[in-house]
Structure formats: C-alpha cells, structure tokens
Amino acid sequence: MDFLRPASWEEALAAKAEHPTAVPIAGGTDVMVEINFDHRRPDALLDLNRIGELREWEVGEETVRLGACVPYTRIIESLRAELPGLALAAHTVGSPQIRNRGSVGGNLGAASPAGDSHPALLAAGAEVEAVSVRGTRMIPVEEFYTGVKRNCLEPDELIRAVHIKKADGPQQFSKVGTRNAMVIAVCAFGIALHPGTRTVRTGIGSAAPTPIRATAAEEFLNSALAEAGLWDSGQIIPPAVARQFAELVSGAANPIDDVRGSAAYRRHALGVMARRTLGWAWEEYRGNERSARCA
C-alpha cells in the first residue's frame, strides 16, 4: 500500500489526479477501522495531515466555511453559536479521542448513513466544496449522498471544505443508540428553524440508504406554522400539528432491520425525536421572540 503525503493542497490535488483510487485519510477514525477489519485494502492512502489550511475555518456573513479536517472537538469548543446543531451532533461522535481526530470532511467522504454530522448539515443547509485539478464545484449536501457509503465525488476530487449556513434560529440534534455514549446511531434526527425564511429543515440519519431530509414533514410544518401565524404570534405549536409532523418524519424514513435495531423501532424513535426536538427548538424560538419584544 502506498502512503502519499502531499505537503500542500496543490500537491494533494495532483496526487489524487495521479492516483484516483487513493483513499484520503485525515483523522483515520473511519479509514483505519475499515483497514483493521479488512473491509478494504486501498492501493494507496492520501494523507491530508500536512495541509494545515484544512484544519481552519472562517465565519462569514451567512455561512461558516469549515475546513474538511477541522476536528469535532474544535466545532464543539468554537462554533457552538454559529453551528449549534452540528455542535450537538459532534458531541455524540465516539469518544473524546475520536472527537479530537475525526472531522466532518471524513464523515462526508465515508458517506455512511449513520454518520453523525449528516442530519445537522441537512437541517442547517450546507454545500460541499469539491475540488480537483480540473476546478472547484459546490455540491448541495442533499445531492452529495448517492447510496450506502457512496457520494457523488469524482475519482480525482477531494473535499476541501463544507460551507454551512450560520444558524438564524434554534437548532436541535438527537440520536438514539443502545448505550449512553460512544455509540453508532440506531437513528438520528436534526432540525433547524429558519425564522428568516419562515421555514423548518430536517435531517434523518441511519434510517435510509443515505441521510435524507423529511421534505413532506417540512412542507407540512411550514404551511401549518404559516396558516396559524405562529412565527409571528410565538404561540405553542398545537399538539396535533407536532404529532402530524412526527408521523411524516417517521414516514420519510426507509429503515432496515439490522443488529443495531429493528426497522419498526427506527421509525418509532424518529417520530419521538422529531416531536421532542421540534418542541425544544420552538420553545427556544418563543423565548428569543419574547426577549426580543421586551428589549
């Protein structure tokens, strides 16, 4: 197995163009497990650790440009205000050691439906900055995932950064595992309120071949909130609306029975998480509105 160690981003792109089957490795929290379990034996590894810019982030007007190798620990410590949903998701990743090494770029590269950051990215709204020697393209995250552990990157492309919409409202993330820490998701759910556009976005993890948005649930909730004037009134969401939203989230999933959980349980748990996280996010929105009015 070749071990390629480019010193710069340009060298990395050249190496990837020359060795399209090379597997990029940063923290190694996913790739090394695959190798240790003999699930894959790539011809070459492309080590991105010498490229410092990949561990940097910029907070812009509307988005955070998050370098592909920024470890989860940095997100938890430094980006909680801008990316609250992703910070909550980052908290649930593995152990402290894994959070020190693992990154959103790695989660996207692996494209496992169980990756913890996907529901938060889907809910917040994000674009993947995919780069090759041929140029740069921005891929909306919902179009990025193409199948179980597959994404739409071309063989010569590398993920340089993820551009994530800064939170303009409350965000929540919730994940079910069969242990209280260091666990792979049985299923996960992310929700983001966008008061600016008066929309709600969602993300479902580990309950379909790819991470997905619950678009029917989003559309239902958007109209229900608009019709009742709840964005303005800041009143509580009627329980029937929350229930319907939860059912539509459940219905959006396409889960399977596996050793981690049954398909029926995943649907059920997604509904419970959808109802609860909507409640928490909406309560926070109402609180913000009230304090804004008082100010």
Partner 1 sequence: MGATRTPSNITQGSKAKGGIGESTLRPDGTLKVTGEFAYSSDMWHEDMLWGFTLRSPHAHAEIKSIDTSQALAQAGVYAVLTYDDLPTEVKNYGLEIQDTPVLAHGRVRHHGEPVALVAADHPETARRAAAKIKVEYVPLPVVHDEATAIAEDAPLLHPGRTDHHAGHVPHPNIVHRQPIHRGDVAAARARADVIVSGEYEVGMQDQAFLGPESGLAVPGEDGGVDLYIATQWLHSDLRQIAPVLGLPPEKVRMTLSGVGGAFGGREDLSMQIHACLLALRTGKPVKIVYNRFESFFGHVHRHPAKLWYEHGATRDGKLTHMKCRIVLDGGAYASASPAVVGNASSLSVGPYVVDNVEIEAIALYTNNPPCGAMRGFGAVQACFAYEAQMDKLAAGLGMDPVEFRQLNAMSQGTVMPTGQVVDSPAPVAELLRRVKAMPLPPQKQWETAGQSADVRALPGGLSNTTHGEGVVRGVGYAVGIKNVGFSEGFDDYSTARVRLEVVGGEPVAVVHTAMAEVGQGGVTVHAQIARTELGVTQVTIHPADTQVGSAGSTSASRQTYVTGGAVKHTCEAVREKVLELGRARFGSYHPAWATAELLLEGGKVVTDGGEVLADLADVLEGEAIDLELEWRHRPTEPFDLRTGQGNGHVQYSFAAHRAVVEVDTELGLVKVVELACAQDVGKALNPLSVVGQIQGGTTQGLGLAVMEEIVVSPEGKVRNPSFTDYLIPTILDTPTIPVDVLELADEHAPYGLRGIGEAPTLSSTPAVVAAIRAATGLALNRVPVRPEHLTGQQYSGG
| Token representation of residue 49 | 């650790």
Q: Under the criterion CB under 8 A, does residue 267 sit at the interface with partner 1?
A: yes
Tell me the site size for partner 1, rule CB under 8 A.
37
Nearest approach in angstroms of CB 169 to partner 1 is: 17
Instruction: Select from 152, 216, 228, 263 the one that contacts partner 1 (CB under 8 A).
Output: 263
Q: How far is CA 92 from CA 10, 39, 224, in A?
A: 33, 24, 31
Could you tell me which of 197, 198, 175, 199 has the C-alpha nearest to residue 185? 175
The beta-carbon contacts of 63-67 under 8 Å, at least 24 apart in sequence, are 63/163, 63/164, 63/165, 63/166, 64/163, 64/164, 64/166, 65/129, 65/161, 65/162, 65/163, 66/104, 66/161, 66/162, 66/163, 66/164, 67/105, 67/160, 67/161
Strand order in the sheet with 2-4: 2-4, 44-47, 23-25
72 binds partner 1 (CB under 8 A): no
Q: Is residue 139 within 8 Å of 128, Cβ to Cβ?
A: yes
Q: Which stretch binds partner 1 (CB under 8 A): 65-73, 89-97, 191-199, 211-219?
A: 89-97
Site string for partner 1, 143-182 (x = CB under 8 A): -----------------------------xxxxxxxxxxx
- By the rule CB under 8 A, 265 interacts with partner 1: yes
Smallest gap from Cβ 33 to partner 1, in A, equals: 8
Pairing of strands 44-47, 23-25: parallel
Give the nearest distance from C-beta 202 to partner 1 in angstroms: 15
- Range in contact with partner 1 (rule: CB under 8 A) among 141-149, 206-214, 224-232, 256-264: 256-264
Nearest distance from C-beta of residue 58 to partner 1, angstroms: 28
Residue 253 binds to partner 1 (criterion: CB under 8 A)? no
Other Cβ atoms within 10 Å of 1 Cβ, number? 10
Question: Applying CB under 8 A, which of residues 183, 209, 228, 285 lies at the interface with partner 1?
Answer: 183
- Binding flag, residue 272, partner 1 (CB under 8 A): yes
The answer to whether the CB of 91 falls within 8 A of the CB of 74 is: no
Within 38-67, which residues bind partner 1 (CB under 8 A)? 38
- Using rule CB under 8 A, residue 259 touches partner 1: yes
Q: What is the amino acid identity at position 24?
A: P
Point out which span in 5-13, 60-68, 86-94, 158-166 binds partner 1 (CB under 8 A).
Answer: 86-94
- Given a contact cutoff of 8 angstroms between Cβ atoms, the answer to whether 3 and 25 are in contact is no
Indicate the DSSP class of residue 22: P
Rule CB under 8 A: choose which of 8, 215, 235, 262 binds partner 1.
Answer: 262
Nearer to partner 1, 91 or 137 (CB): 91
Binding to partner 1 by residue 264, rule CB under 8 A?
A: yes
For residues 69 and 38, the answer to whether their CB atoms sit within 8 Å is: no
Please state the separation of Cα 16 from the chain's center in Å: 25
Residues that bind partner 1 (CB under 8 A): 33, 36-38, 88, 91-92, 95, 172-184, 186, 257, 259-265, 267-269, 272-273, 276, 280
